[in-house]
C-alpha cells in the first residue's frame, strides 16, 4: 500500500515538471502575480520558486528511497521461507537501519508509522519463533521421561536440510556473541511495541537457557538418573535417552544403576556434538562421578564379592568414560584415581562394608521412629547414689512488715498482689525420693535481736544437719526410685549389638580396628542426633533414656559424652531465655519506676523457670538434678539479676524498692527444699535474699547489718560497690566505707 502511494505521487510530480510552458502560462495568469492597476505581470519571485522546487525534489528523493522498504521486506520473507536464518537476520537489520533514516517522513503520518512499526515488529517475532521451532521440534526433543537429539534435520515445507553445528554457531554469534542476551541489542531495542518486545526477549532468553546452555537436558537427566526407582535406556540408535520406572532391588538394582550410568555417558559422548559435550560434561560430570562413588560405597557388600568381578570391571569402564568426558571441559577435572584406589586397596572394601552396616542401622532406626509405639513408657528401677547428706532439709521463708524501709507502707506488698494472681505457693521440688534412715539435730542461725522485727532477718531460717550427723550419712544412697523410659534404649542396644556382631563376622585380618571404633562412635553420634529431633517438649525424657542405656551398657563412652552435652545444651539454651526475660523486666523497672508492669515476671519469667527448668531438672535423677539446679540458681541469682543491677550507674529510691520486690518474688518462687543440704545453694539464696533486703534501706540501717555480721558472704569490694551504687557521695557515705575497710583490715585506695 505504501509503495503504491509513493509511485503515484512520483508520476504526478514528473508530469507537472515536464510541462514547462504550461507552468509559465499558469504563472502569467495567476491573479496574485498580476498588478491590479496596470494589469501588467508583476515581478516573479524566483527565489521562492527555486526553494519550493528544492523542497519538492527532496521529498521526491525521500519517497523514492522509501521504495526500498518493500523490497527489503520481501527479501526477509524470502530468506525466512528458505530457512536462510543468517540472511534473514541481516535483511531485518538493514530494514531497521532504513526505517531509522526515514523516521522523519514516517512521523508525518501517525497511521503509516503505526502500521510500519507493527508489521516490522512482527517480523522480529517471526524470526525468533522460527529459531525456536527448529531447535525444539527439529534438533532436540525433550519430554518428561526422554530426551532425543538429531544432528541433521529436514525442516520446512521444502524439507531443507539443516546442520546443527552450523546452525548453532551462526545463531550464537548473531544473538549471543558475549555468551548472554544483550538487552541493548538491536533485535530487541529497535522494536517499538512494548508487549511484542518483551515476548521476543523472553523467547530469546528461553533459547539461550534451554538450547545454548542446555539447562533442559541437564535438569531432565539429573532428575531421572538420580531417582531411586529410575532406569536409563538408549533407543533409536542411541539418539534417544529414555527413563522408565524400575522395581528392582539388591544385586539387580545395583547392576541396573551401573547400566544407567553407562547409557547416560554413552549418550553424552557418542550422540551429542562436541560443543554441547563440553557444556554437559561440566554440568553433569561432577554429579555423575559423585553418585557413582556413593552407589559403589553403598553397595560395597555386593561389588566386592569374589564372584562379582564383572561389576568391578564395569565400574572401571564407566570411570574411564568419565575421564575421557572430563577432557572436554576446562572447568571440571576428573582423573578417576579415587575409584581406582578403591579397587586396588584391600582395606577400603572392608571399610566400605563397615560403612554399609552402619547405614543399615540408621535405616532401621528411621523406621523405628516412624512408628509411634516407641513412645510407650516402661517403668524401671534405677538405684542412684546421692552426694552429701541423705536427710532432707527445709528452707522456710517468711515475710514481716518493716518500718525501716523507705516509702513502703508494708514489707512486701507485691507479694500480696502476686498471691491474688495464683503465686501464693512456693516452688517446693522434693528431689529426695527415698525415706531417711537417720535423724539429725536442727540448729538455727543466730541473728541479732535488734533486727528481729525485720522481715529479711527471719527470711532465712535454715534447718540443717550438724557436722557429726552429716558425716554419718555421707555416702548413703537413696532407695532405688522408679523411673520411666521409652522403647528407645533397648532399640539402641539392639542396633549397636547388630553393628558389632556383623562387623565381627567379617574377616578379622582385614578389619581395620581403628576404622571400626571410629564408625561405632559415628553411629552413636548419629543415633543421638536423630533422637534429639523427636524429643522437644519432653527433652528430659531422652536424658533419662540415655542414662538407662548407659546403665545397661557402660562401654558406650561416646553416648556418655553426648548425654552430658545434651543436658548442658538444654540448660544453657534455657538460661539464655531467662537472661533475656530478666533484662526485659529490669528495663521496665528502670523506665517506669513509678508504676512498672510486672507482666514479664509473672506471666513469662516465673512460669518458664518452673515449667521449663526446675520441674524438668527435678526428673533427671538426683545427682544430675542437684548439680544442674544449683548451677542454674547461681546463674539466675548472680549472673542474671545481681550482675545486671550492678551495671546501673545509679539506683533511685523508688527503683530500689522495685528491685527489692523483684528479688523477693524471684526468691520465693525458686525455693527447692531438696537442695537445702547443699552449701552452694544455701549461700547463694542467703546472699540473694540479703541483697533484696538492704536495697530499700537507709545507709545507717545497712551499716547496722554490717556491724551485726550479716554481710559475711560479701567481699569487701562487693559491699563497697553496693554502697557507692545506692548512695550519693557524702561524708556519711565516706565514713561508712572507711569503717568497712577498717573493720575488714583493708586499705583505702585513694
pLDDT for res 329: 78
pLDDT over threshold 70, residue 384? no
pLDDT confidence band for 119 (50 / 70 / 90): confident
User: Which contacts qualify for 76-83: CB closer than 8 Å, 24 or more apart?
Assistant: 76/123, 80/126, 80/127, 80/130, 81/156, 82/158, 82/160, 83/130, 83/134, 83/155, 83/156, 83/160, 83/162
User: Which contacts qualify for 267-272: CB closer than 8 Å, 24 or more apart?
Assistant: 267/234, 267/238, 267/241, 268/325, 269/321, 269/324, 269/325, 270/238, 271/149, 271/238, 271/239, 271/241, 272/149
Most confident of 30-39, 186-195, 340-349, 436-445: 186-195
- Burial class (CB within 10 angstroms; exposed 0-12, middle 13-18, buried 19+) of 383: exposed
Ranking 306-320, 340-354, 465-479, 731-745 by mean pLDDT, the lowest is 465-479
Q: What is the mean pLDDT of the chain?
A: 79
pLDDT confidence band for 30 (50 / 70 / 90): low
Distance CA 511, CA 351 (A): 7
> In the structure grid, which three cell numbers stand for residue 368, read together?
523405628
Contact 486, 376 (CB under 8 A): yes
Contact 622, 479 (CB under 8 A): no
pLDDT over threshold 70, residue 280? yes
pLDDT for res 393: 33
Q: Three-state DSSP class for 108?
A: coil
Beta strands in 115-268 (DSSP E): 140-142, 146-149, 152-155, 160-163, 230-235, 240-245
Angle, CA 391 vertex, CA 386 and CA 639 arms, to 5°: 65
pLDDT for res 487: 92
Distance CA 74, CA 143 (A): 37
Percent of the chain with pLDDT over 90: 33
Query: At residue 242, what are phi and psi to the nearest 5 degrees?
Result: -115, 145
Distance CA 499, CA 536 (A): 28
450 dihedral zone (left: phi>0; alpha: psi -120 to 50; beta): alpha
Residue boundaries of the structural domains of the chain: 2-66, 68-213, 216-344
Q: Three-state DSSP class for 458?
A: coil
pLDDT for res 412: 32
pLDDT over threshold 80, residue 685? yes
Tell me the sheet residues that pair with 240: 148, 235
Distance CA 692, CA 669 (A): 14
The length of the chain, given as a count of residues: 750
- Residue 644 vs residue 34, higher pLDDT: 644
Q: What is the per-residue pLDDT across 516-550, written as a single tens digit (0 to 9) for each? A: 899 999 999 999 999 999 988 888 899 999 999 99
Taking alpha carbons only, the member of 728, 629, 723, 746 closest to residue 685 is: 629
- Residue 564 vs residue 183, higher pLDDT: 564
Q: Where are the alpha helices (DSSP H) in 460-512?
A: 467-473, 488-504
Distance CA 137, CA 131 (A): 10
Number of C-beta neighbours around residue 514 at 10 A: 7
Whole-prediction pTM value? 0.52
Angle, CA 492 vertex, CA 491 and CA 494 arms, to 5°: 65
Choosing among 1.20.58.2230, 3.90.920.10, 2.30.30.40, 3.60.9.10, the CATH entry for 216-344 is 1.20.58.2230
CA distances from 390 to 316, 427, 432, 473 (A): 69, 21, 8, 6
* Protein fold of 68-213: Methane Monooxygenase Hydroxylase; Chain G, domain 1 (1.20.58)
pLDDT for res 471: 32
Contact 247, 229 (CB under 8 A): yes
Contact 489, 545 (CB under 8 A): yes
pLDDT over threshold 80, residue 45? no
pLDDT over threshold 60, residue 402? no
> In the structure grid, which three cell numbers stand for residue 256, read together?
541396573
Contact 20, 49 (CB under 8 A): no
Over residues 62-83, the mean pLDDT reads 80
Distance CA 450, CA 708 (A): 9
Do 68-213 and 216-344 have matching folds? yes
Distance CA 489, CA 549 (A): 5
pLDDT over threshold 70, residue 454? no
pLDDT for res 423: 32
Contact 135, 209 (CB under 8 A): no
pLDDT for res 474: 32
Ranking 173-177, 247-251, 335-339, 405-409 by mean pLDDT, the lowest is 405-409
Amino acid at each position: 500500500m505504501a509503495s503504491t502511494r509513493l509511485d503515484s505521487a512520483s508520476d504526478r510530480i514528473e508530469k507537472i515538471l515536464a510541462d514547462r510552458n504550461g507552468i509559465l502560462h499558469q504563472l502569467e495568469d495567476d491573479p496574485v502575480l498580476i498588478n491590479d492597476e496596470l494589469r501588467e505581470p508583476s515581478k516573479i519571485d524566483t527565489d521562492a520558486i527555486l526553494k519550493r522546487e528544492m523542497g519538492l525534489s527532496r521529498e521526491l528523493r525521500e519517497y523514492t528511497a522509501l521504495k526500498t522498504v518493500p523490497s527489503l521486506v520481501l527479501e526477509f520473507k524470502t530468506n525466512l521461507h528458505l530457512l536462510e536464518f543468517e540472511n534473514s537476520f541481516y535483511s531485518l537489520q538493514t530494514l531497521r537501519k532504513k526505517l531509522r533514516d526515514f523516521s522523519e517522513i514516517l512521523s508525518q503520518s501517525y497511521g503509516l508509522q503505526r502500521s510500519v512499526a507493527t508489521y516490522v515488529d512482527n517480523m522480529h517475532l517471526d524470526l525468533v519463533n522460527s529459531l525456536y521451532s527448529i531447535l525444539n521440534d527439529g534438533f532436540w526433543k525433550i519430554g518428561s521421561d526422554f530426551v532425543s537429539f538429531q544432528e541433521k534435520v529436514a525442516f520446512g515445507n521444502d524439507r531443507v536440510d539443516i546442520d546443527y553445528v552450523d546452525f548453532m554457531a551462526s545463531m550464537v554469534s548473531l544473538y549471543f556473541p558475549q555468551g548472554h542476551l544483550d538487552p541493548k541489542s538491536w533485535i530487541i531495542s529497535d522494536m517499538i511495541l512494548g508487549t511484542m518486545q518483551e515476548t521476543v526477549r523472553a523467547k530469546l532468553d528461553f533459547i539461550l537457557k534451554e538450547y545454548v546452555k542446555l539447562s533442559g537436558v541437564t535438569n531432565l537427566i539429573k532428575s531421572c538418573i538420580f531417582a531411586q526407582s529410575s532406569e536409563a535406556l538408549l533407543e533409536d540408535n542411541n539418539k534417544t535417552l529414555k527413563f522408565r520406572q524400575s522395581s528392582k532391588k539388591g544385586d539387580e538394582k545395583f547392576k541396573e544403576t551401573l547400566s544407567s550410568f553407562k547409557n547416560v555417558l554413552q549418550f553424552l559422548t557418542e550422540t551429542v556434538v562436541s560443543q554441547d559435550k563440553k557444556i554437559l560434561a561440566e554440568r553433569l560430570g561432577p554429579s555423575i562421578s559423585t553418585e557413582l562413588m556413593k552407589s559403589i560405597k553403598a553397595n560395597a557388600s555386593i561389588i566386592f564379592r569374589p564372584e562379582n568381578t564383572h561389576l568391578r570391571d564395569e565400574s572401571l569402564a564407566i570411570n574411564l568414560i568419565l575421564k575421557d568426558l572430563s577432557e572436554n571441559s576446562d572447568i571440571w577435572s576428573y582423573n578417576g584415581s579415587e575409584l581406582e584406589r578403591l579397587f586396588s586397596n584391600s582395606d577400603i572394601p572392608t571399610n566400605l562394608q563397615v560403612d554399609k552396616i552402619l547405614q543399615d542401622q540408621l535405616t532401621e532406626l528411621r523406621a523405628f521412629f516412624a512408628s509411634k509405639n516407641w513412645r510407650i513408657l516402661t517403668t524401671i528401677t534405677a538405684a542412684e547414689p546421692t552426694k552429701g547428706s541423705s536427710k532432707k532439709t527445709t528452707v522456710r521463708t517468711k515475710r514481716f512488715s518493716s518500718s525501716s524501709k523507705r516509702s513502703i507502707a508494708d514489707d512486701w506488698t507485691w507479694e500480696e498482689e502476686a498471691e491474688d494472681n495464683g503465686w501464693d505457693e512456693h516452688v517446693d521440688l522434693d528431689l529426695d525420693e527415698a525415706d531417711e534412715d537417720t535423724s539429725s539435730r536442727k540448729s538455727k542461725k543466730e541473728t541479732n535481736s535488734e533486727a528481729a522485727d525485720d522481715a529479711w532477718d527471719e527470711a532465712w531460717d535454715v534447718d540443717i544437719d550438724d557436722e557429726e550427723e552429716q558425716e554419718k550419712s555421707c555416702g548413703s544412697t537413696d532407695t532405688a526410685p522408679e523411673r520411666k523410659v521409652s522403647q528407645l534404649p533397648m532399640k539402641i542396644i539392639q542396633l549397636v549389638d547388630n553393628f558389632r556382631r556383623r562387623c565381627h563376622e567379617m574377616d578379622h585380618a582385614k578389619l581395620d580396628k581403628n576404622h571400626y571404633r571410629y564408625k561405632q562412635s559415628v553411629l552413636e553420634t548419629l543415633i543421638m542426633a536423630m533422637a534429639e529431633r523427636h524429643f522437644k517438649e519432653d527433652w528430659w525424657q531422652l536424658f533419662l533414656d540415655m542414662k538407662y542405656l548407659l546403665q545397661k551398657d557402660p562401654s558406650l563412652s561416646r553416648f556418655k559424652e553426648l548425654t552430658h552435652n545434651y543436658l548442658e545444651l538444654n540448660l544453657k539454651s534455657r538460661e539464655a531465655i531467662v537472661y533475656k526475660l530478666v533484662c526485659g523486666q529490669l528495663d521496665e523497672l528502670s523506665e517506669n519506676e513509678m508504676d512498672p508492669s510486672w507482666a514479664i515476671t509473672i506471666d513469662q519469667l516465673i512460669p518458664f523457670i518452673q515449667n521449663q527448668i526446675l520441674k524438668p531438672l527435678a526428673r533427671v535423677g538426683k545427682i544430675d538434678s542437684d548439680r544442674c539446679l544449683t548451677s542454674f540458681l547461681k546463674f539466675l541469682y548472680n549472673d542474671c539479676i545481681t550482675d545486671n543491677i550492678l551495671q546501673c550507674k545509679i539506683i533511685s529510691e523508688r527503683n530500689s524498692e522495685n528491685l527489692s520486690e523483684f528479688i523477693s518474688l524471684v526468691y520465693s518462687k525458686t525455693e527447692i527444699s531438696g537442695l537445702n543440704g547443699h552449701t552452694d545453694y544455701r549461700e547463694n539464696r542467703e546472699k540473694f535474699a540479703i541483697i533484696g533486703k538492704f536495697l530499700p534501706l537507709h545507709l545507717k540501717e545497712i551499716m547496722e547489718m554490717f556491724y551485726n555480721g550479716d554481710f559475711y558472704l560479701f567481699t569487701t569490694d562487693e559491699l563497697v560497690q553496693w554502697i557507692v551504687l545506692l548512695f550519693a557521695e557524702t561524708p556519711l557515705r565516706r565514713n561508712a566505707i572507711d569503717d568497712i575497710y577498717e573493720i575488714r583490715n583493708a586499705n583505702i585506695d585513694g
